[in-house]
Each structure stands twice: as structure tokens, then as C-alpha cells.
């Protein structure tokens, strides 16, 4: 068995793969949220940004494929590890097991992940492909955003999914350093504060947009 | 004091089991949890019934034998103590208390509250040791070790192998146990030569035994009667990942 296979087979190796792919996706989300916030500056800037991205041609597709690969390995590892956990305790506690310290973010990481996956599929069909959009115009993201968030149900779904994204990011961010074995022991670790700050920024940045559109601030 | 117990009873490894209710009356609040079970068992035997089987040995928190899930919490409500160090005064009079064995596929139930923790022995056998030539003992002061490292190694060495980490983990992971051993040995100079190999072998064995992976819920360190930190898990991951990518020594003669 070669080393890559051995690493992938082990539970520790899979978590390392999840950490690396997760961090890559977070890095993307940070650029994504910053770019999205251009929508507050009117149609020109964000549409220009979109034209620049599409103008890069091959590079855009390389980035898309890299992100897709990260999503795929992240999910495959997560499914396999979840399966492993289920098999590890075939009979549960009759009186229930009472969680003592685990956070909502950690306990919702799996179902939150499923919700995020559903959301990503919808989101791509909504704003990239445009087939679930009522008046999609290729190359006019400003219009697509304004028209796309006219529906309250759509806005609600985005807001719900973004809560899952925020929680997922918080747990994933602080714990990824541990999965990779690089976190240093500390009673008040900086990684927790960084994880809170970054997940709040990403969550808030994405969250205000549908609300602003629905409230008529962006139109 | 009086308490009502709901105890998991199971006659054998493959027998069906279930929760059985027992009234434990006139129990001294100063009795330990295990002493309370002793009293219940004496009364059961006097009544001609089969006593409740549970693991115990030292009854002072150092052997790692006792192992009960009490009201859904490994080793009961108090932090940093094993079941044998838990006293009945920690419970309100008249309280109902559920008592169950550790639940893990790797810890098969032998009888009632007794599980087999041989999976832990096999993880230790896979690498939880230092290979040293025996012979006359060397001078204890000959190898100097930094105080910080000694303290961290000793913190990890406190692990008594009770299995509470597995029982409390939502994933049924044995990461804290395995990591405690890897940390304890990996911090000492004598543990260096086998450090990478040890981490690889022990993690592999942990997976083979069927324990779950680690999601860093942190439930294990809360349940640990020795308060071992999940920092050890980070060390285990580091040692394992380093060993996984480290170059292997190979003797090759490259032909043109
Ligand atoms: S009986 Fe020895 S640790 Fe509890």
C-alpha cells in the first residue's frame, strides 16, 4: 500500500484531508464575500468584476475545478468518517448520552454540511447557471442579485443556509489546526477568536445582501 | 438516602439486554457509587437473585477498571473523577439514576455493566511501548529531561485506560486514549527512536479496532477522570502525519 492510500485509509489522514480542503474553501469564501459586497456600490463595479473574472478564461475554470475537487474530497471523507462513527456505536445508550461541552457548531457540523451541499447546488443553479432564476441575464450579476432576492422564500433559504455556513466555518476553522497537528496548547487560544471573527465576517457579509435587496436598499 | 436505579442487565455477550429498575433504599450519602452497588447486590443475593456485574478493582481512581455511564455521563456528574471516586452525596435524595455500560462496537459487553477493553490492549501492543534492552538499571539522573516536557508527558501518562473517552465521544473514538499514550512516550528522550513508527502503528490499530474518528467535540477531555487534554490529540495527529510523509530509508542502486 503506498503512502497516499495509507493516509487516506486512516481516520487521522482523512481529517487532515478535510482540514486542507476546508481551508481552501474558506479562503475562496473570503474572496467571494468581499467581491459580493461590491453590490453595495452599484451595478458597474460588480459587473466589471464579473467581466474580469470571465475574461481570465482558462484560469476561471482551473479555479472552479480546484474548488469542485475540494468539495468532493471534503464530502467523501466526511461521509466515510460519519459512516465509521455510526458503525463504532451500533447500540446507543438506552438513557441517552448527555453532551457536556460540545458546541452547537460541532454538533451540527454533519447535518449543517448536508444543508450547505443542497444550498451550493441551488446557489450555482441560481446565480451561475441561472436555470432556477426567474429572469437570469448572463453577465449581469447585479440584475441577477436584485431580481433573485425579490422572493421571500429564496431569501429565507439563503439566510438559513448561511447560518449553517457560519457555524460550519467556526468549528472547521478552529479545529482544522488540530486535525493537521499544528495547533499549540493554550488556555485561551487565538485560533478560537480568529475562528469567531472570520466566520462572523463571512456570515454577516453574505447575510446582509439578500436582506438589503429584499428591504429595497439595493435595487 | 433512597435512589431508584435503572440498570442495564445482560446475561452474556450475545444475550438480549434491557434496563431493569431497582430501589436502593437506606444508602449512606458517604457511600461511593460502587459501594452503593455492593449494597444493592448483597440484597439481590439475599433474595436469591443474580447480582449486577460491574468492573472495579482499586476503588481509588488509579486502575481504570470502573466504567459506568451514569445518567448519560461517563463516570457520573463530577469532573476529574472515576466512578469509584463518586459519592452518593453527589445525587439528590429520591433521584432516579440510569447506569449503563460503555457503548462501543470495540468494547463488547461481557455481562451487565462489564465490557471487554481488550481493544485498548491491542492498541498498546501495536506501539505503546519503548523498546529498551534490559539489564542492570542505568542511573536515573543520567538522562536529563526539560521540566516542561516531563510535566506534559506525565499529564498524558496519567491515563488509566478506563475508556470513558470512547464512551463519551459522539463518534465512539479512541483518539484521546491513543493520543495520551503517543504523547506520553513521544515526549521522552527514550521514546524518540520509535516515535513515528509508534504513531503510525497505534493509529492504524485504533482504526482496525473499529473506533470512530475524531471530530474535536471535546467531550472526551471533559469525561476523562484524569483530565487529559485534547492537546494530546493534536500531538498524535502531528506525529502521525509527519511519519506518513517522512522519507523512508531505502537502499537502492539506480540503474541507468
Ligand atoms: S476502580 Fe480503579 S479506577 Fe475505579
The string of pLDDT tens digits covering residues A63-79 is 999 999 999 999 999 99
For cell 497537528, the residue is A181
pLDDT bucket at B142, cuts 50 / 70 / 90: confident
Nearest CA in chain A to B178: A12
For residues A6-30, give the mean pLDDT. 96
How far off is chain A from B133, nearest CA to CA, in Å?
A: 31
The CATH architecture that domain B118-245 belongs to is Orthogonal Bundle (1.10)
Is some CB atom of chain B closer than 8 A to the CB atom of A151? no
For residues A158-184, give the mean pLDDT. 95
pLDDT bucket at B139, cuts 50 / 70 / 90: confident
How high is the mean pLDDT of chain B? Answer: 94
> Would the pLDDT of B251 be above 80?
no
How far off is chain B from A74, nearest CA to CA, in Å?
A: 14
The candidate with the shortest Cα–Cα distance to B176, out of B129, B127, B100, B235, is: B235
> For chain B, where do the domains classified as CATH 3.10.20.30 start and end?
3-110
> For chain B, where do the domains classified as CATH 1.10.1060.10 start and end?
118-245
The string of pLDDT tens digits covering residues B151-202 is 999 999 999 999 999 999 999 999 999 999 999 999 999 899 999 999 999 9
Q: What angle do CA B96, B98, B103 make, to 5 degrees?
A: 170
**C-alpha distances in Å from residue B155, one per residue of A6, A110, B39, B207:** 30, 32, 35, 25
**According to the model, what pLDDT value does residue B256 have?**
66
pLDDT bucket at B249, cuts 50 / 70 / 90: confident
Contacts by residues A207-211 (CB-CB < 8 Å, ≥ 24 positions apart): A207/A159, A207/A162, A209/A36, A209/A37, A209/A39, A209/A145, A209/A149, A210/A149, A210/A154, A210/A155, A210/A158, A210/A159, A211/A155, A211/A159
Nearest CA in chain A to B233: A178
B171:A84 CB<8 A? yes
ipTM confidence:
0.92
Residues from chain B contacting residue A97 (CB–CB below 8 Å)? 69, 72-73, 103, 168, 170
Ligand 1 within 6 A of B64 CB? yes
> Would the pLDDT of B246 be above 90?
no
> Would the pLDDT of A1 be above 70?
no
Top pLDDT among B253 and B18 is at B18
The candidate with the shortest Cα–Cα distance to A95, out of B50, B208, B20, is: B20
**According to the model, what pLDDT value does residue A95 have?**
85
**According to the model, what pLDDT value does residue B248 have?**
72
Task: Enter the CATH code of domain B3-110.
Answer: 3.10.20.30
Amino acid at each position: 500500500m503506498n503512502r497516499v492510500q495509507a493516509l487516506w485509509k486512516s481516520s487521522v489522514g482523512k481529517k487532515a484531508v478535510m482540514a486542507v480542503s476546508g481551508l481552501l474553501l474558506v479562503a475562496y469564501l473570503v474572496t467571494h464575500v468581499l467581491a459580493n459586497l461590491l453590490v453595495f456600490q452599484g451595478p458597474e463595479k460588480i459587473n466589471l468584476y464579473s467581466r474580469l473574472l470571465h475574461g481570465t478564461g482558462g484560469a476561471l475554470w482551473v479555479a472552479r475545478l480546484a474548488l469542485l475537487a475540494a468539495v468532493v474530497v471534503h464530502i467523501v471523507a466526511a461521509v466515510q468518517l460519519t459512516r465509521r462513527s455510526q458503525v463504532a456505536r451500533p447500540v446507543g445508550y438506552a438513557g441517552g448520552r448527555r453532551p457536556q461541552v460540545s458546541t452547537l457548531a460541532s454538533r451540527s457540523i454533519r447535518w449543517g454540511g448536508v444543508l450547505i451541499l443542497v444550498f451550493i447546488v441551488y446557489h450555482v443553479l441560481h446565480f451561475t447557471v441561472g436555470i432556477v432564476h426567474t429572469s437570469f441575464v448572463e453577465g449581469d450579476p447585479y440584475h441577477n442579485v436584485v431580481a433573485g432576492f425579490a422572493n421571500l422564500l429564496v431569501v429565507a433559504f439563503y439566510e438559513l443556509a448561511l447560518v449553517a455556513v457560519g457555524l460550519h466555518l467556526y468549528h472547521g476553522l478552529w479545529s482544522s489546526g488540530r486535525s493537521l497537528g499544528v495547533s499549540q496548547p493554550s488556555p485561551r487560544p487565538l485560533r478560537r477568536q480568529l475562528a469567531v471573527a472570520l466566520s462572523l465576517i463571512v456570515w454577516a457579509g453574505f447575510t446582509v445582501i439578500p436582506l438589503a435587496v429584499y428591504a429595497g436598499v439595493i435595487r | 438516602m433512597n435512589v431508584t436505579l435503572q440498570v442495564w442487565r445482560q446475561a452474556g455477550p450475545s444475550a438480549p439486554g434491557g434496563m431493569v429498575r431497582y430501589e436502593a433504599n437506606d444508602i449512606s450519602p458517604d457511600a461511593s457509587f460502587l459501594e452503593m452497588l455492593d449494597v444493592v447486590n448483597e440484597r439481590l443475593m439475599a433474595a436469591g437473585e443474580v447480582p449486577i456485574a460491574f468492573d472495579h478493582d482499586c476503588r481509588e481512581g488509579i486502575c481504570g477498571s470502573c466504567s459506568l455511564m451514569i445518567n448519560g455521563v461517563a463516570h457520573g456528574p463530577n469532573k476529574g473523577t472515576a466512578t469509584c471516586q463518586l459519592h452518593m452525596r453527589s445525587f439528590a435524595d429520591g433521584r432516579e439514576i440510569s447506569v449503563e455500560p460503555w457503548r462501543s462496537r470495540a468494547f463488547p459487553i461481557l455481562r451487565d455493566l462489564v465490557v471487554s477493553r481488550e481493544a485498548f490492549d491491542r492498541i498498546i501492543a501495536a506501539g505503546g511501548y519503548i523498546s529498551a534492552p534490559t539489564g542492570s538499571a542505568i542511573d536515573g539522573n543520567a538522562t536529563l529531561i526539560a521540566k516542561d516536557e516531563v510535566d506534559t508527558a506525565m499529564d498524558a501518562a496519567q491515563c488509566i485506560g478506563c475508556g470513558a473517552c470512547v464512551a463519551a465521544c459522539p463518534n465512539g473514538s479512541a483518539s484521546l486514549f491513543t493520543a495520551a499514550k503517543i504523547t506520553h512516550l513521544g515526549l521522552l528522550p527514550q521514546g524518540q527512536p520509535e516515535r513515528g513508527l509508534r504513531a503510525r502503528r497505534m493509529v492504524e490499530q485504533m482504526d482496525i479496532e473499529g473506533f470512530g474518528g475524531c471530530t474535536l467535540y471535546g467531550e472526551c477531555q471533559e469525561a476523562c477522570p484524569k483530565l487529559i487534554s485534547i492537546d494530546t490529540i493534536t500531538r498524535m495527529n502531528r506525529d502521525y502525519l509527519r511519519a506518513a510523509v517522512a522519507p523512508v530509508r531505502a537502499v537502492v542502486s539506480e540503474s541507468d
